[in-house]
A = this chain, B = another copy of it.
Amino acid sequence: MSIARLTDTELSDLLTRHPDWQLRADGLALERTFKFTDFNEAFGFMTRVALYADKADHHPEWFNVYNRVEITLTTHDAGGISGRDAAMVEWLAGVAA
């Protein structure tokens, strides 16, 4: 548990700025579904996320079928949502507008 979780205020600010993200029912992760025109476009997006994730050493849990990508962000070392998840949310806002 070496990484700090976001405070309630930080988390609610983040969700206000990014209403396309949902808090998971247990409050420990953020979720968002992305839709694209086809698999080619969806996987192109996933490749961009993968490069970001590997550089940031912070990896999503994600599911894909055809043109849909469901991303779940949480930080295991924080036992919940941390600044690393917030950073990825901010970065993703610039990628999939």
Which one, B43, B50, B53, B64, contacts A54 given CB within 8 A? B43
Q: In this assembly, does A66 line the interface, its C-beta being within 8 Å of a C-beta of chain B? A: yes
Q: Which of B39, B43, B63 contacts A63 (CB 8 A)?
A: B63
Where the two chains meet, the residues of A that have a C-beta atom closer than 8 Å to any C-beta of B are 39-40, 43, 46-47, 50, 53-54, 59-66
In the complex the two chains form, what is the Cα distance from A40 to B54 in whole Å? 7
**Is the Cβ of A39 less than 8 Å from the Cβ of B59?**
yes
Q: List 11 A-B contacts (CB under 8 A).
A: A39-B50, A39-B54, A43-B47, A43-B54, A46-B46, A46-B50, A59-B65, A59-B66, A60-B65, A61-B63, A61-B64
Q: Which chain B positions have C-beta within 8 A of A61?
A: 63-65
Residues of B within 8 A of A64 (CB): 61-62
